[in-house]
Structure 1
């Protein structure tokens, strides 16, 4: 298994170039075709102000959105051409999750950005990206690589942390990440829980990875008083990892509010790329 078709999400977002450069690095590593999917933001018209907004203002917003897409397209094509990389451009008026869900079905992996976790102007968040990447990971049926809002990531996957709890989503994430795991210098499989006698809970998956020729080791963390999501990020930093692989878990909004969510916590505080799979 390898990644032969990679999709990167682009929109009216200053982080387009950071995602593109990481996507190009991965596409070159796996000899993959790179697809740039641009989602065009709709006019920013509050529902309660619709009838009072001049049509000229709406048209200007639409024209500006099209102009921005043209500039992004030129930058994407130029970067791919300079890297001598097979590429294609797609553009959609659909909401990002819907457009990417459709595109993902014919891609091996999708690269998206983390929404700004602390926006000074919530209205400036690119349309529809506030629910990426978790919603996409739950719907796409393909692995989703989320890139942090801050920081430069020219490459990933040299030292990988796998969050392992033995559940279906975690198993799917491991197998979806196999091309990256096989190329890693080292892989740390992290399990949370008390120390046990006999075989540790992650030893079976560590053995499987080793049979694939992957240099893997298991680590158990009690997480202390920290939320599991924050403890996961802390352990990744401690292990000097540049990528986390984890299952994307979906719960009802009520359950998320009452108990919190590991996936949501990690995506809100991420400092390194996260590969999600469901």
Structure 2
């Protein structure tokens, strides 16, 4: 198993460069093809204009959006060519979640950006990206690599932590991440407040990984004064991890974005790329 076909989501977003860099880094790592999916923001009705909005305003907004898309396309294609990565470009007028869900099922790995966890002006947040990794982790059916909103990541997957609790979501994430795990210098299977009678929690899945040639160790921690999400992020920082692999948890018949505390904490406060599986 490998990642031969990678999709990266771009939009009118200052983090396009970071997402592109991550996707191209992985393309070189796995000898993969990269497709950029650019979602065009919908026209915005300005609140102070009341019910009447001139058609010319929407037309101008659409033209500006297209111009930004062309600028982003030129930057993406130039960088892909510079790095010797084969690439394609797609555009969609659908909201990001719907567009990435639809197109993403034809790819091995989806690369997204973390929404700004504390936007100074929520009105300028690109339409639909505020819930992008949250909803897609439950809907896309593909592994999702989320790049933090801040920082640069010249290495992804050299030192990996797998958040492990034995659940089907954690199991799915682990196997979705197998190309990363087999190529890593070191992998730690990490449990928070593990529950297991006899033996070492995580030992069995570590043996499974070792049979795949993964350099793996097992570690567990008890979180007393902080929540498990904070404990996980603390362990990531302490161990110098550059990729966290974890299952995504959520349930809601109305909106599939009600996550368990650990997943929500990590997605909000992540400091390294996170690969989500479900």
* Length-normalised TM-score, structure 1: 0.94
Aligned to 2:109: 109
Displacement, 1:187?
Answer: 0.5
- SS of residue paired to 2:51: helix
- Please give the root-mean-square deviation of Cα atoms over the aligned residues, in Å: 2.1
Q: Distance in 1 between matches of 2:255 and 2:225?
A: 23
Which residue of structure 1 aligns with residue 209 of structure 2? 209
1:263 offset after TM fit, Å? 1.0
- Cα deviation, 1:231-266, whole Å, max 9, x if unaligned, reads 111111111100100001113389998x96211111
3-state SS in 2 of match to 1:217: strand
Contact 2:194 2:201 in 1 (8 A): no
Shift of 1:46: 5.8
Task: Name the residue aligned to 2:54.
Answer: 54
Matches within 5 A, 1:65-104: 65-104=65-104
In 2, are the aligned partners of 1:26 and 1:155 still within 8 Å (CA)?
no
* Contact 2:249–2:260 (CA under 8 A) maintained in structure 1: no
Q: Residues 49, 229 of structure 1: CA spacing in aligned structure 2 closer, same or farther, 3 A cutoff?
A: farther
Report the Cα distance in structure 2 between the residues aligned to 1:262 and 1:255, rounded to whole angstroms: 16
Q: Deviations over 1:215-234 (max 9, x none)?
A: 11111111122121111111
What is the alpha-carbon distance in structure 1 between the residues aligned to residue 65 and residue 239 of structure 2?
A: 42
The match for 2:269 is 269
The answer on 1:146 being equivalent to 2:146 is: yes
**Any unmatched runs of 5+ in structure 1?**
none
Q: What are the ranges of 5 or more consecutive residues in structure 2 without an aligned counterpart?
A: none
Please tell me whether the aligned partners of residues 195 and 220 of structure 1 are also in contact (alpha carbons under 8 angstroms). Answer: no
Given that residues 113 and 146 in structure 1 are in contact (C-alpha distance below 8 angstroms), is that contact kept between their aligned partners in structure 2? yes
Alignment partner, residue 9 of structure 2: 9
Match of residue 23 from structure 2: 23
Question: Matched residues in 1 for 2:30 and 2:2: separation?
Answer: 7
* Maintained 8 Å contact 1:105/1:142: yes
1:144 & 1:254 partners in 2: Cα distance?
Answer: 19
Query: How high is the TM-score relative to the length of structure 2?
Result: 0.94
- Residue 132 of structure 1 aligns to a residue whose secondary structure is helix
Aligned pairs, number: 277
In structure 2, C-alpha distance between the alignment counterparts of 1:196 and 1:67, rounded to whole Å: 57
Q: Is the 8 A contact 2:39 2:99 kept in 1?
A: yes
Report what 1:224 is aligned to: 224
For 1:120 and 1:203, the matched residues in 2 are separated by 45
